Amino acid sequence: MLLKNALVISHRIIKKVVMPGDIVVDATAGNGNDTLFLANLVGDAGKVYAFDIQDTAIENTRKKLIDNDKYNNVKLIKDSHENMDRYVPDGVKAVMFNLGYLPGGDHSIGTKPSSTIRALEKALSLLKPNGIITMVVYYGGDSGFDEKEAVMEYVKTIDYKKATVLVHEFANQINCPPIAICIEKCK
Ligand SMILES: C[S@@+](CC[C@H](N)C(=O)[O-])C[C@H]1O[C@@H](n2cnc3c(N)ncnc32)[C@H](O)[C@@H]1O
């Protein structure tokens, strides 16, 4: 299905943009699915910087990479993504955000509006021209509503001469379907 869900849309966009040898960032490593996806795309000549604030997430991601023989081209960083500029060089091709909490983990240790927006700003400045940021925004149940509002407001304020922002929002699905936001840096 072409319009399956926000995560599939974000993966399709990343797949079109990211090439072997690229430098990319997984801003929310979680259980490592997106980190592994990126590691496969950039190959041995590329580099993935993957961030998470939780030990469990870093260890789950490390295990996933080792199990799939993809550990060599990934740097795992236990720090908030708002500090990504301390670790990641300029010239990044793509940054993936998958907001919310660790599946199966503590809902209170999810992403937060202010640090997410600071991280978006850092990601935009590290990105090379025509580089891409994808963000999957989860809301519903006990969390995510304030973050969704803050992110949706923030992306509208990004200077159109600096980057193009596309919001993929499902209009007729039930149960707060996640939103995919895609930001392409201008030349
Ligand atoms: C929905 S999960 C990510 C799923 C992951 N992309 C995957 O493929 O499994 C969100 C993750 O963001 C992490 N997180 C929350 N705040 C963060 C922050 N400020 N910096 C980096 N990661 C953060 C959480 O610990 C959680 O593991």
**Each residue of 98-131: pLDDT tens digit?**
999 999 888 889 999 999 999 999 999 999 999 9
Q: Are residues 111 and 29 in contact, defined by beta-carbon separation less than 8 angstroms?
A: no
- Position 139 scores a pLDDT of 94
CATH number at residue 15: 3.40.50.150
Is residue 23 in a domain? yes
Element (H, E) at 41: helix 33-42
Which pLDDT value is given to residue 187? Answer: 85
| Count of domains forming the chain | 1
Q: Which helix (H) or strand (E) holds 124?
A: helix 113-126
CB 21 within 8 A of CB 38: no
Pocket lining: 22 vs ligand 1, CB cutoff 6 Å: no
Question: Does any domain span residue 47?
Answer: yes
Ligand 1 within 6 A of CB of 73: no
Q: Is 40 in the pocket of ligand 1 (CB under 6 A)?
A: no
Residue 143 is classified by DSSP as B
122: domain range?
Answer: 6-185
CA distance 167 to 176: 15
Closest-lying ligand 1 atom to the alpha carbon of residue 112: 16
Cα 110 to averaged position of ligand 1 atoms, centre (Å): 7
Residue 76, classed as helix, strand or coil, is strand
32 lines ligand 1 (CB under 6 A): yes
130 Cα: distance to centroid of ligand 1 (angstroms): 25
In a domain, residue 145? The reply is yes
- Which residue's alpha carbon is at the smallest distance from atom 12 of ligand 1? 28
Which residue's alpha carbon is nearest to atom 4 within ligand 1? Answer: 30
Residue 1 forms part of a structural domain: no
Listed as ranges, residues in the chain with pLDDT below 50 are none
Is 109 part of any domain? yes
Let me know if residue 172 belongs to a domain: yes
Q: Is residue 152 part of a domain?
A: yes
- pLDDT of amino acid 3: 87
Distance from residue 58's CA to the centre of ligand 1 (Å): 10
Is 176 within the bounds of a domain? yes
Q: Is 152 exposed, middle or buried (0-12, 13-18, 19+ CB in 10 A)?
A: middle
Sign, Cα dihedral of 85, 91, 97, 102 = negative
Whether residue 167 contacts residue 178, with contact meaning beta carbons closer than 8 Å, is answered with: no
Give the predicted TM-score (pTM) of the model.
0.97
